[in-house]
Each structure stands twice: as C-alpha cells, then as structure tokens.
Amino acid sequence: EVQLVESGGGLVKPGGSLRVSCAASGLTFKNAWMAWVRQAPGKGLEWIGRIRSETDDGKADYAAPLKGRFTILRDDSKNTLYLQMNSLKTEDTAVYYCTTGLKRGEYFDSLFYWGQGTLVTVSS
Amino acid sequence: QTVVTQEPSFSVSPGGTVTLTCGLTSASVSTSSYASWYQQTPGQAPRTLIYNTNTRSSGVPDRFSGSILGNKAALTITGAQADDDADYYCVLYMSSGIWVFGGGTRLTVL
C-alpha cells in the first residue's frame, strides 16, 4: 500500500522560508514521479509542480505563478520528497499535499495517491 | 493562461443522474489531456475516482463514470447517493508538461 506522509508545516512570517517533507513508502520511490498540490482554506486544489524520476532526467516543472519561489527536491536514498518555499506570502497559506502515482502507458500519473497534507500558515 | 473550467455548483436528487464537466477556455479536451477526477469531503484529502479519462480507481462504485463529451471531460454519477455530496475536482494535462486543476464543483445531493 502506498503511503505518503507530509511533515514540516507550521507558522512562518511573510518573507520567510519553509521546507516541507513527504516520506513515501509502499512504492519504488526512485522510479516515481512525485508532485505537490496545495489547497488554500475554503478554496480549490492548485497544482504546484512535479519532479520526474532520476532515470527520466530528474527535472521539475512548476506552475507559472510559483516558479522561482518554490523548488521541488527529492532524496531517493531516504524515499523523501521536499518542497522548498521561499519569499512566502500570506496567500501561500494552505494545506500542502504530496502526491504520486503510476506509469500509465505514455504518461506518468503523478496525481493518483495522496497524502493527508500539512498545513502551512503564513502570517505575521 | 489556460484555465480549466468546472461548474461551481450542481444539485441532484437521490437516485438521479448528474454529469459534471471539465473544459478548457482555449482548446478542446481530448484523451491526451489524461483527465482525472477527484472527490473531496470536508477535512479529507482528495480521493481519486477516475484517471486517464475513463478508468475507475479500485474500489470506486460503478455509478461513477468518466468520458469525453463534446470538447470536455465529463464525470457522470448515475443513481446518486447521499454520500456523493462532496466537492469534485478535475485535472488536465497540458502540452507544456504541466497539470492544471479546475476550480471544483460543489455537488449537493438532496
């Protein structure tokens, strides 16, 4: 059974930085494409970005509005995914979900399995 | 900027049928959009219902089905039940390599 457990959320001041983590189990992590999705209070889901497996070049793609402030990283030796968030704004307050999935023919579905999320609050 | 559109809200009677749609402001949705659908209830993480346009996830009741209707992806619930009362989100894959979620549909079963 695939399990994704996020951690590291909390209260941070505007302009600050935070790194949240996602510990993965039940899958071959080094082959998995991993993603982050967030949900602001009372709002919808927002795709943040996705990182490919190292064998598929290990690069990440990001939603345009977040590119430059958010960075997705992975440590295959620890089966852990990270989201580094810099220059945080109050509108970054959200539950941050880690997701992954399976290779399905010609694409990798990185939005199939979901963790329970970690809350990040940006406030002074 | 590409926007994924969903009906903000919908209402269905118990036992009724409802179709939620997922479109693009500047293009047609196709099977290459690899649409997925999610159900979310308050305080819970989203649950994957449908992936790759029309494949039901394991354990999802067969009253949920996915398809392409015209130029949109669609989620049809046939024989709605009280516990289908939830928020529903679609996500589409873009040719630029990113995914974009729709704004979600609040489905009320009453």
**CA A12 vs CA A111, A116, A124, B84: distances in Å:** 27, 20, 8, 36
Residue of B nearest to A62 (CA): B98
Q: Which of A2, A33, A43, A45 should be substituted to probe chain B, the one whose Cβ sees the most B Cβ atoms within 10 Å?
A: A45
Q: Please judge whether A44 and B38 are an interchain contact, meaning their C-beta atoms are less than 8 angstroms apart.
A: no
Q: Please judge whether A46 and B97 are an interchain contact, meaning their C-beta atoms are less than 8 angstroms apart.
A: no
Q: Is the dihedral of CA B28, B31, B32, B36 positive or negative?
A: positive
Q: Please judge whether A109 and B102 are an interchain contact, meaning their C-beta atoms are less than 8 angstroms apart.
A: no
Q: Is the dihedral of CA A123, B4, B10, B16 positive or negative?
A: negative
* Each residue's pLDDT expressed in tens, for chain A with a length of 124 residues: 999 999 999 999 999 999 999 999 999 999 999 999 999 999 999 999 999 999 999 999 999 999 999 999 999 999 999 999 999 999 999 999 999 999 888 899 999 999 999 999 999 9
Partnered with residue A3 across adjacent β-strands are A25
d(CA B74, CA B5): 11
Those residues of chain A whose CB sits closer than 8 Å to some CB in chain B are 35, 37, 44-47, 49-50, 61-64, 97, 101, 104-105, 107, 109-117
